[in-house]
Amino acid sequence: MKIIIHHFSEEQLAAARAVAPGVDFVTPTTDEEMQREIEDADGIFGGVTPDLIRRAKNLRWIQTGGVGVEGLRFPELINSDIVLANARGTTAVNIAEHVMALILAFTRTLNITIKRQMEKVWESRANMPVLEIAGETIGILGLGSIGLEVAKRATAFDLRILAVDPTQTHKPDYVESLWKTDRLHDMLSQSDWVAICCPLTIETEGIMGAAEFRAMKPSAFLINIARGKIVNQAELVEALRAKELAGAGLDALDPEPLPQNSPLWEMENVIITPHHAGQSPKAPNRVFELFCENLKRFVADEPLINVVDKTRWY
């Protein structure tokens, strides 16, 4: 059995070999090597292309190191029997912390005070109306691993929690209401904070647009740590200009990097972070542990963790 891997340390490689002693682990360093090695590989840890799928004769398992897999949505993989597993859950903790960081930044007007610090201006408190989130409502779009971690942290801040999700049926006690996505506007109309935590799929692309922004409270804030294409960005800009919502914390934009001529850069009620909510010094270890667990299961011909439904694409 052969598994293609990338960027493993010697310690990680030793750990993988201990989990699966009979497996041949190979690390292609060029495109030519990858094209050759993929022909008889049984599994791969990393991304693939349509060309690589066409070349693969024995490939049965693809393990990604990330959560979003929209970049793999091509017919060669969709129509194959290859099992695709993602790294769902491995970055949920740090992404949830990023959501709360953005919320707290707006709550305490850090988006303004940091700029004033750079300008060496002692701003009048009268010009910085702070907020208090205890008792407010957060609406979570997507109650998967990330959404659940956001909900846990929101509970600690005494927030009321609403959520919509197309498939999730498990509602923790700390979530007041869990609805199907057709009740998105009901959630938006009640929320002071809206956190986008869903994957990018055919159904969610552009799901947050002009009608949704009008459904939100004018005092509400939008937080997007998912994918930029989930939000109609041009309509978001217009909604912010029209004061249909109070502000937006954006870690995911479309396109990325955000062009310098985007009006979002100059809006004081917008916080932009460079799609780094998923970054954490601890997350890579969680990804590797997931890979080793799925490796053990793959060798034993057992069901894998985090298998992606190729009809829903998450």
Residues recognised as catalytic: 227, 256, 275
Nearest Cα residue to 73 out of 233, 258, 202, 266: 202
Pull the structure tokens for residue 229.
């294409």
**DSSP type of residue 5:** -
310 φ, ψ to 5°?
Answer: -75, 0
Exposure string of 150-164, with b = 16+ CB inside 10 Å and e = fewer, is: bbbbbbebebbbbbb
In what helix (H) or strand (E) does residue 77 lie, and over which residues does it extend? helix 75-78
Nearest Cα residue to 247 out of 209, 211, 193: 193
Nearest Cα residue to 106 out of 265, 262, 268: 268
What whole-number distance in Å separates Cα of residue 237 and Cα of residue 241? Answer: 6
What whole-number distance in Å separates Cα of residue 265 and Cα of residue 263? Answer: 5
How many C-beta atoms lie closer than 10 Å to residue 265's C-beta? 11
Q: What are the distances in angstroms from CA 143 to CA 103, 153, 168, 177, 252?
A: 18, 13, 7, 11, 18
